[in-house]
């Protein structure tokens, strides 16, 4: 695989991660908003799900940041 192909593949993966990240953020926001509207106190299962969602979002943020750094380094290294 050439460097350009690898960079393009990494960029595509990053774009997919960003879409997934945005979707998870929307789900988290909707969940919190619905819970507030219904005045539901979170139980242990809700908190566990929310924690899992937050961890997924944090992992995706790290992968996006890492991929952007990698792409930036490769682009500037070619000049």
What are 13-33's pLDDT values in tens digits?
888 888 888 888 888 889 889
What are 38-75's pLDDT values in tens digits?
888 878 888 888 888 888 888 888 888 888 787 777 66
If you average pLDDT over every residue of the chain, what do you get? 81
Per the structure, the count of domains in the chain is 1
Please report how many Cα atoms fall inside a 13 Å half-sphere around the Cα of residue 62, on the Cβ side. 6
Domain that holds residue 17: 3-77
Concatenate the DSSP letters of all residues of 41-65 into one string: PP-HHHHHHHHHHHHHHHHHHHHHH
Question: Would you say the pTM of this structure is higher than 0.75?
Answer: no
Exposed, middle or buried: residue 56 (CB in 10 Å: 0-12, 13-18, 19+)? middle
């Amino acid at each position: 695989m050439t460097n350009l192909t690898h960079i393009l593949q990494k960029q595509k993966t990053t774009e997919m991660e960003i879409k997934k990240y945005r979707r998870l953020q929307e789900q988290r926001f909707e969940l919190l908003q619905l819970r507030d509207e219904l005045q539901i106190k979170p139980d242990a299962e809700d908190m566990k799900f929310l924690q899992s969602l937050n961890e997924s979002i944090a992992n995706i943020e790290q992968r996006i940041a890492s991929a952007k750094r990698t792409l930036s380094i490769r682009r500037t290294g070619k000049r």
